[in-house]
Structures are given as C-alpha cells and as structure tokens.
Structure 1
Amino acid sequence: MQEMIRHILTSRVYEAAVETPLEEATELSRELQNRILLKREDLQPVFSFKLRGAYNKIAQLSKEEQARGVIAASAGNHAQGVAFSAQKLGLKALIVMPATTPQIKIDAVKSYGAEVVLYGDNYSEAAERCAQILDETGMTYIHPFDDKQVIAGQGTIAYELLRQSPEKMDAVFVPVGGGGLISGIGAYLKALSPETRIIGVEPVDSDAMYQSLSAGKRITLQSVGIFADGVAVRQVGKLTYELCRKYVDDIIRVSTDELCGAIKSIYQATRSIVEPAGALGVAGLKQYVKNNSVNGQTLVAINSGANMNFERLRYVSERTMTGAGKESLLAVTIPEQPGALRYFCNNILHTLNITEFNYRLADRTRAQLFMGVSVGADETKKQFIERLNKEGYQTIDLTDNELAKTHLRYMIGGRSAEANRERLFRFWFPERPGALSRFLADMGADWNISLFHYRSQGGEFGRVLIGLEIPDNHEAALQQFLNRLGYHFVEESNDPAYKLFL
C-alpha cells in the first residue's frame, strides 16, 4: 500500500490530465434520498480517465524506452490516452485496433498523430497482432491496466476525491474492466479513509473481476458482452487482482437496461452523455441504494468516460424505460372471438399508459399480444400479472428477455407452419463488409434460412437473429460450423417469446 501511495503522490498526470470536478447530482440525490456526487472523468481532454494512467506510465519511461516509441492494443479510450500522451511528449505511437472499431474512435486516435493498425474482429485478435508487432519492432508496450504506474495514474482520482469532498464519503462506486482504476482508487482511499466502502461495478456479461474474486483466483471468461465495450475484458490483471482482493469491499453486477437507465440519469444531472462503461458507477450506485434501503449517505460514482457513438443513442433510449423500471414487456394470450380485444382494452388497460401494443392471430381460438405497459415497480407489476392470470389471460413477463427486446418487438409476420425443423440463434456479427457473406458461404448446403433479422446499434457488432432449418442428422455439422465461424451466439430455440410469436 505504501509503495502505491508513493507512486500516486509522485505521479506526473497533471502535465497532461486535468483535475476533474466532483459535482452533486441534485435531482438524483432527491430521487434516491442520499447525497449523490459524480466524479467527472468524462471532462478529461480525451473524455476518459485513461489519460491519467497512460501519461504517467509513458512520462516515467527511460529515455531509451521512449526513443523506441510506444505501442498498445485498444479499441477505444486507452488508445486515445496513449496517443495523446505520446504526442504531448513528442514520441512515436502505434495503436493496434480491431477492424470493427467505429470510425469516430479511429479518427480520434489518428488526430493525436498515432499510427493505427486495424486487425481482427475483436480486442483479443488485435492484442495478438500487437504482440507480433512488438516482437518485430522492439517498441515499448503500454499495458491498459496491469502496471504499477498506470494504476498510480488512475489512483490520483482518489487523491482528488479526498480534497474535494467536504464530508465523509460512505461509498465510492467504480467501473471495473481490467481493474486498474479501482485498484488505484482502492489502495489510496483504504489508506487514508478506511471507513469508505470501495465498490466495483461490472456488467453481468463482463464480470471477470467478480468471478475471479469469488473463485479466489483469476478466471478467464469464455466470452464477454459488447455493450459496455470499455470494460469488455476476459481476464483481469495479476497485479490488479491482488490489489482488488485486498482493498475492494464488494462488486456489483448490472444489466444492460440498468446501464441505459444510468446514462439517462447522468444526462439529466449533467446534460452530458457518457458511454456505457462510463455509466457503470451510477448504475451500481442506484442498485446498491435500492437493494440495501440506503438513506442519508454520501455516495460517489466515477463517470469514467464519454466516448459514445452517436448512433448507439437510439438503442440506449429504447432500453432506458425498462432500465428505469418504467416499462414492462408482457406476452398475453387472449381469446380469439368478437369483442375480446375491445373488452381487454376497455376493462384491463384503460387506466394504464401503453408504450407498445402488437396483436397477432394465433389460431381460431386465441390471439397473442406483445405489449409494453407502465405498471410501476416490481411488486406492482407482479400484482398486475397476477390479475391478468386470474382474469384468464395467460401472461409471460418478457421485460428481461433479450430476444424479445432486441429483435421480437421490431418483427412482424408471426409463425410459419412450414418451418418445422427450425433452430433459432442470436448472433453478434462484426460490423464490417463480408460478415454475412462469410456466414452464408460456410453454412451447410442443405440448410435453409427460415428467418432473419438485423438491426444496427452503432457499435462494433450487429445483433442478428437467424432461423435455420437443419436436417436431423446434421447436428455435428452444425456444431462444427458454429465453432469454425467464431461469431458469438446464443441459441434461442426454446425461448417462450419465440414459441409464442415466431
């Protein structure tokens, strides 16, 4: 701990980074009945805290290491931090980025004078190429999180928090990817403010630190979620794991919908739009207050970054209502008879706010409704569903169903009696030319596509729903195809929403 504090206090981050404000989110404080403070790292010159660690590391390299130039693999904020720092110090920089990286991020890195190499569909493939170039060139590698000087640079945030907060901080909520940010903050605060709880926040589908701390060893995730790409790390660092094991009190996991709700909360408080990873702190804070009935405390959330793709805002907006608990998605079966729909609307829905309503004939005895409805908190929703079931309307809650939220609500056409050998898959296709062509070229010649839905979300991957008619004796060939393709996927053949509507 003493060594890390010394590194933090002797860091050189302020040659490039700025001291960011600690602002009270007045409306959110009133809503949550606690004093909510936001540490505005989204106001750094590169719109992310990553500048602190990158600059501190590069500035303290030896003259010989600096002369070789610096190299890093990154799809976003670390890339910009390294490029900005290298330009500030007059050094050569090379950044390896996935070919699926949005152009806005590529342009940002190039604007700081760095050379960009595009390679692979994801960070892992880009990191492998970075390692090859490192061997070939002898450049100096700048790790995104598992380095003492990088961690110390991020730890200067805690140094600022203690000076800026006029009262005791009961808890600080920190986004977690590889663990560099929370390691620096945790080491410093636990030394000087040990009563402050250090709480990390991860997406449920990118929870490498949570899994590692639970298992008592570093765990490698088989796959990571892509929505909060700034924390999409399969394995945390050796050093960061040890520091988190010592200084972190808890890890909270949040859903995509909770992240979207947090982005909205931050916008309402600051009129700025953070990226999904940047909203993790607020998302975890809100869940913590709700689950623990916390009242009257001072809680700090780190707004870690604001490099948001504008095109992704549509998706965020759509998911905000469910993330804030203000919209529930329900599948309801009603009788197919004259006056049934009118009765349902007039007697069941007449006092409610309807956000979405889809009706489809199932057969001559029943019809299916897919609807969004504002029914309030979890207990109120439960009571409403119980009422529907008592009235004879079979109801399924789809509020947390990814198939329904990502694809089903945008599709029409109903079920097909002809698709009797259909298998349904959700795929994450890399957003680059040829992704679909590769899929079609590799799939079995005897397989038929019976359903297809794609919708851009402004990220590095597109969400694709595909129905495949597979002969019974082709199970092994299907598995070989999926393994060879290498695209992340989830099979949804048994999903209740699929059974009802598709």
Structure 2
Amino acid sequence: MDYFPNVAAIKKAVLTIRQVAEVTPLMHSIRLSKQYHAEILLKREDLHRVRSYKIRGAFNKISSLTTEERSRGVVCASAGNHAQGVAFACNYLGIKATIFMPVVTPKQKVEQTKMFGDAWVTVVLEGDTFDDSYTAAMAYCNDKDASFIHPFDDPKVIEGQATVGLELLDQIKKPLDYIFVAVGGGGLASGLIGVFSQLSPHTKIIGVEPQGAPSMLTSITNDKNTSLQTIDKFIDGAAVKRVGDLTFAICKDNLHKMVTVPEGKVCQTILDLYNRDAIVVEPAGALSISALDMFAEEIKGKQVACIIGGSNNDITRTAEIKERALLYGQLKHYFIVRFPQRPGALKQFVAEILGPNDDITHFEYSKKSSKENAPAIVGIELKHPSDLVPLMQRMKGNNFFGDYLNDKPDLFQYLV
C-alpha cells in the first residue's frame, strides 16, 4: 500500500472538523503518575459530544463527498462509536444514512446512534460481530450505489483521527516520550503515526488490543494482514477479526510495540477509573491505561499520553464488568461443592469451611435424589488471592470438594 497520512492533509482535516469536534482536554493523572513514577497524561477523547474520537474521521470523510454522492446517501458498519459519529455528521450535513450494527451492540450505543441521526438515519442490526455487519453493509451499499464510510480503512477517516495527534503536540509542554493507543481496526493508531513520525519522531507509539481479538498483533507477527476465525466480542469498540489493509501497512513498520491485554484486566481498569478518578469509560476506552504496567520500568521518568477513546458504556454491563475483573484478579472462584445429605451441612460449610472474609455470591442447589452427597454450584469472593489454597484444603479435608470451575472454561460457561 502506498498511502501514508501526511501533515498537510491532517491540518486540512483540522479545519474541516472544527465545526463539530472541539479540542479535547489533556488531563494530568495524579494517581497514575504516582503509581508509575512518570508523567501520565490522559487525552480525553471520551468528552466529544458523541463521546468518542470517531466523530473526527466520520465527519472528515463525509464532508469530502461530492453533491452527487451525498444525494445517494451513505452506508456504514460499526460496533457503536463510528456509527454515532456517522449519525451525527449526517444529521448535521443533511445526508441520509443506513447504519449496520452487530445484534450484540450494547443497547445504549444503538439508542445514541438513533438519537444523533434522528430522521436522517436508519439503523439495521445484523450479525454477531463487526465483520458480519460489514459484509451486510457492503452488499447493501453496492445494491443502492451509496458511499461506504469505512470506520478505519480510509485515508479521510485516518486523517480525521490524526487530528488527535496535532492537538497533543499543541497541548504538551515538552516532547512526548510514549503514546498508548487502543487498536481495533487501526485508524487512530495510523493517524497518530502519520503525525508523530513527521513532527516528533522520537515519540514511541504503543498499540494495545484485547487479548481476545489480537487481529493487528497476529497480522504483524505473520507479516501479512490476517483474519481471525473467532474473537471475544466483549471489548466491542476494539474487537475486529481483520484490521484494515491501509492501517496494517502503516502500523506494521511504525508502531514501537503491539501488545494485548486480558479483558478482565481492562474491566478492573474501568472500575478503577470510575471509583478513583470519577471517569466513565467503555472497555475500549480503558485499553491504553490497562497496558501501562507492562511498561512500568520503561516509562519511569518519562512523559506518557494515554488516549481515552470513548465512554459509551451501557450501565447494564456493570455486573459483567465487575465479574470479569474479580475473575481476572483471582478473587472470584466457582466450585462444585458436594454437600452431605444431612441437616446442618450448609451451616457447617459456612462456619467451618469458609474463611472469615470469604463471601458466597452465587449458590445453585436442588435436591433431586437421596444419594449420600448432592452437588451445588457455589461462587465465592475472596478478600485476597492467597485465601484460595487454604479454602480448597478445608473443602477437601471435610469432603465438600467436588470440582474447581474457573480453569474449565467450557464447563464454567455452561454451569455459571
């Protein structure tokens, strides 16, 4: 691929998007700076009116369409944030849009897309992943001869996202040493590379993907753009089976490093940001911060920017976010417990088997036979990971232990 974002085009994009995209704050994080002995800056892209940076690329691309192209309408596929950017842009510019979103898209993102688009936008829920929606959107686009607004693999979109980089350069007091950025399809990372490779080449850009959807890392490792067969869709804003061809070509030779972060770790970051910093982010918005501890030694004494990409989080996901965080932190454990079929067995389990700080958070039991022992599924939250081994020893020593479910994913998902 010959395309590479240049500064002149990115500066032009700044002029285009300024009517809808305000300059977002660059916030110094006291907590994270103390934790990592570095100057950690948070680029608050979650504070756009559509609550993500996607408004930049979407508006820059749609604004570039000719009058004839606008009259035929536009089509896009998105897991949520790009959809909202397209919806807002089309409503603002008076252009009809059909937006395809995965069926599993959080309800909040679907409703926000409809709200921003109003009468100018039709939302179609199709498929289980972004890639499924993309396939349906392309077929519809070809049938209607409409313009497709790609969420990441388009020069105008990349240049729109790249305006984040120019803002960063205007906001910092000294050169940035590192930038941590979430990678889904790679549009924002590619835009940042375009800016910093030309204006601040010593700045190291680190891409961060969900462990369950490592499409960019896999492609870089294989030295060719590679489609994943399956992905974990939880971090919906960054879970794609295949990155862009343009973005892959830009990222593979220009990222300092490409890393992945477990979904449970991202969930803990979401909770920490909410509870300790009063910042609400979606899973993809927490990816950049979640990777900081992997570079703790490398970033000491350095100036580091983390891009907080979006805050379109559905409150109904909070229970799952907490659950995944506890499982990742080894504080939540599920067992098959075999209770003796006698009065007082549960009382004994609570009094003698559980530790003083252990808490039962899940209990599923039904007496269906007169066997000597009957199984129950029990979820236990611990105060500290080190409490697990003594708990299991007490269970085994008193003949309560049936099985440990956390390390049996198929059985875990079926039973819990």
CA distance in 1 between counterparts of 2:136 and 2:151 reads: 16
Could you tell me whether the CA contact under 8 Å between 1:174 and 1:200 is conserved in 2? Answer: yes
CA distance in 2 between counterparts of 1:164 and 1:400 reads: 46
Larger displacement relative to structure 2 (78-87 or 189-198): 189-198
Give the deviation of 1:284 after TM superposition: 2.2
Residue 56, structure 1, aligned to residue 60, structure 2: yes
Mapping of 1:377-392 within 5 angstroms?
380=386
Give the deviation of 1:63 after TM superposition: 3.5
CA distance in 1 between counterparts of 2:336 and 2:137 reads: 52
Mapping of 1:26-425 within 5 angstroms?
26-99=30-103, 101-111=105-115, 112-113=117-118, 114-122=120-128, 123-289=130-296, 295-323=300-328, 325=329, 327-329=331-333, 331=335, 349-350=354-355, 352-354=357-359, 356=361, 364=372, 370-374=378-382, 376=384, 380=386, 398-399=405-406, 402=409, 408-409=415-416
Could you tell me whether the CA contact under 8 Å between 2:355 and 2:391 is conserved in 1? Answer: no
Give the deviation of 1:121 after TM superposition: 2.7
Deviations 1:456-478 (A, max 9, x none): xxxxxxxxxxxxxxxxxxxxxxx
CA distance in 2 between counterparts of 1:400 and 1:267 reads: 29
Percentage of pairs with the same residue: 34
What SS does the corresponding residue of 1:225 show, helix, strand or coil? Answer: coil
What SS does the corresponding residue of 1:223 show, helix, strand or coil? Answer: coil
Give the deviation of 1:49 after TM superposition: 0.8
Could you say what the CA RMSD is over the residues aligned between the two structures, in angstroms? 3.5
CA distance in 2 between counterparts of 1:231 and 1:407 reads: 26
Could you tell me whether the CA contact under 8 Å between 1:285 and 1:299 is conserved in 2? Answer: no
Could you tell me whether the CA contact under 8 Å between 1:20 and 1:40 is conserved in 2? Answer: yes
What SS does the corresponding residue of 1:243 show, helix, strand or coil? Answer: helix
What SS does the corresponding residue of 2:240 show, helix, strand or coil? Answer: coil
Larger displacement relative to structure 2 (364-373 or 239-248): 364-373
Give the deviation of 1:311 after TM superposition: 1.4
**Which residue is 1:9 aligned to?**
11
Could you tell me whether the CA contact under 8 Å between 2:353 and 2:391 is conserved in 1? Answer: no
Could you tell me whether the CA contact under 8 Å between 2:336 and 2:376 is conserved in 1? Answer: yes
TM-score when scaled to structure 2?
Answer: 0.82
CA distance in 2 between counterparts of 1:294 and 1:136 reads: 51
Give the deviation of 1:402 after TM superposition: 4.4
Residue ranges of structure 2 left out of the alignment (5+ in a row): none
CA distance in 1 between counterparts of 2:233 and 2:84 reads: 19
Aligned residue identity for 1:121: G
CA distance in 1 between counterparts of 2:278 and 2:299 reads: 26
Sort the Cα spacing of 1:335 and 1:101 in 2 relative to 1 into closer, same or farther, 3 A. closer
Give the deviation of 1:237 after TM superposition: 0.8
Deviations 1:400-456 (A, max 9, x none): 6545765644xxxxxxxxxxxxxxxxxxxxxxxxxxxxxxxxxxxxxxxxxxxxxxx
Q: Where do 4+ consecutive residues of structure 1 move more than 6 Å? A: 332-335, 337-348, 359-363, 365-369, 385-397
CA distance in 2 between counterparts of 1:190 and 1:164 reads: 18
Give the deviation of 1:46 after TM superposition: 0.8
TM-score when scaled to structure 1?
Answer: 0.70
What SS does the corresponding residue of 1:118 show, helix, strand or coil? Answer: strand
Could you tell me whether the CA contact under 8 Å between 1:329 and 1:372 is conserved in 2? Answer: yes
CA distance in 2 between counterparts of 1:230 and 1:207 reads: 13
CA distance in 2 between counterparts of 1:95 and 1:206 reads: 23
CA distance in 2 between counterparts of 1:195 and 1:347 reads: 60
Give the deviation of 1:389 after TM superposition: 10
Give the deviation of 1:391 after TM superposition: 6.9
CA distance in 1 between counterparts of 2:314 and 2:5 reads: 38
